[in-house]
Amino acid sequence: MLRSLTLIFAVLATALTAQESVIVGLSQSHVAITANFSGSEILVFGAVKRDAPVPEDASPLDVIIVIEGPLEQVTVRRKEKVFGIWINTESVDIDNAPSFFAVATTGPLADILSQETQQQHAIGVHHAVRLPDHDLDPEMESFSEAISRVRLASGLYSEREGIITLRSETLFDTRIQLPANLVEGDYTAKIFLIRDQQIVGETNLDILVRKEGLERWIYNLAHEHALIYGLLSLLVALVAGYGASEIFRRLRS
Residue range 146-171: mean pLDDT, rounded: 91
**Closest CA relative to residue 62, chosen from 212, 196, 155:** 196
Classify strands 101-105 and 157-160 as parallel, antiparallel or unpaired.
Answer: parallel
Strands across the sheet containing 61-68: 30-33, 198-211, 185-195, 61-68, 101-105, 157-160
Question: Does a structural domain hold residue 2?
Answer: no
Q: Are residues 21 and 135 both part of a single domain? A: yes
Q: What is the pLDDT of residues 37-96, one digit of tens each?
A: 888 999 999 999 888 777 777 889 999 999 999 998 887 766 666 666 666 566 677 778
Per-residue pLDDT for 243 more than 80?
A: no
- Alpha-carbon torsion 133, 137, 138, 143, what sign? negative
The DSSP-derived string for 164-180 is -EEETTTEEEEEEEE-T
Q: Are residues 158 and 250 both part of a single domain? A: no
Q: Are residues 235 and 245 both part of a single domain? A: yes
Q: Are residues 219 and 150 both part of a single domain? A: no
- The number of distinct structural domains making up the chain is 2
Question: What is d(CA 30, CA 189) in angstroms, rounded to the nearest whole number?
Answer: 12
Report angle CA 162, 163, 164 to the nearest 5 degrees: 95
User: What range does the domain containing 219 cover?
Assistant: 213-253
Domain of 116, CATH number, reads 2.60.40.3880
Single-letter residue type at 150 = V
Q: What is the pLDDT of residues 177-220, one digit of tens each?
A: 999 888 889 999 999 999 999 999 999 999 999 887 666 556 66
State whether residue 158 is helix, strand or coil.
strand
